[in-house]
C-alpha cells in the first residue's frame, strides 16, 4: 500500500475526504492524489500525519494494518479522536493547544475544570 492509499484509508476512517484534508491543510486541490505517482516532501507528510493523528511512519509504511495492531490505544482514545475530528470547536481547541506554552495550557485546563464543576 502506497502513501496515497494510506492517507485515503485514514481519511475514510475519520469520515472525511481527501478534498477536505487538502482544504484544511491549505494544500492545492488534487495535490494529495499526485502522491499516487510521486513522493511528497517530508514536510507535507508531517503536516498530514499530524492532522490525521497518525505517525509519519504509519503513513510511509507499506504494511497493512491488522487487527493485532489497533489504530487507537483503546476505545476511549478512539471516541475522543472521533469527537475531535467531527466537532469543529474541539478541533480548533486541539490545534491551538499545540502552539501554547505549558503554563498557558495548564491555565486553560484549570479554567475548564472550574467551569465543569460550576455546571454540575
Tell me the three-class secondary structure of 36-101, residue by residue: HCCCCCHHHHHHHHHHHCCCHHHHHCCCCCCCCCCCCCCHHHHHHHHHHHHCHHHHHHHHHHCCCC
Q: Are 8 and 54 found together in one domain?
A: yes
Counting the structural domains of the chain, the total is 2
Range of the domain at 105: 87-119
Q: Are 10 and 56 found together in one domain?
A: yes
* CATH value at residue 55: 1.10.260.40
Does pTM surpass 0.85?
A: no
Domain assignment present for residue 82? The answer is no
Domain assignment present for residue 102? The answer is yes
pLDDT in tens, 23-74: 999 999 989 989 988 888 888 999 998 898 888 888 887 555 544 555 666 7
Amino acid at each position: 500500500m502506497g502513501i496515497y492509499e494510506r492517507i485515503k484509508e485514514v481519511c475514510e476512517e475519520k469520515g472525511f475526504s481527501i478534498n477536505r484534508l487538502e482544504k484544511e491543510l491549505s494544500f492545492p486541490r488534487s495535490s494529495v492524489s499526485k502522491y499516487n505517482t510521486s513522493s511528497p516532501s517530508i514536510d507535507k507528510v508531517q503536516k498530514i500525519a499530524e492532522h490525521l493523528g497518525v505517525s509519519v511512519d504509519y503513513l510511509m509504511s507499506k504494511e497493512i494494518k491488522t487487527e493485532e495492531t489497533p489504530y487507537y490505544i483503546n476505545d476511549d482514545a478512539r471516541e475522543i479522536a472521533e469527537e475531535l475530528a467531527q466537532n469543529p470547536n474541539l478541533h480548533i481547541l486541539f490545534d491551538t493547544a499545540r502552539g501554547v506554552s505549558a503554563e498557558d495550557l495548564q491555565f486553560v485546563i484549570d479554567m475548564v475544570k472550574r467551569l465543569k464543576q460550576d455546571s454540575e
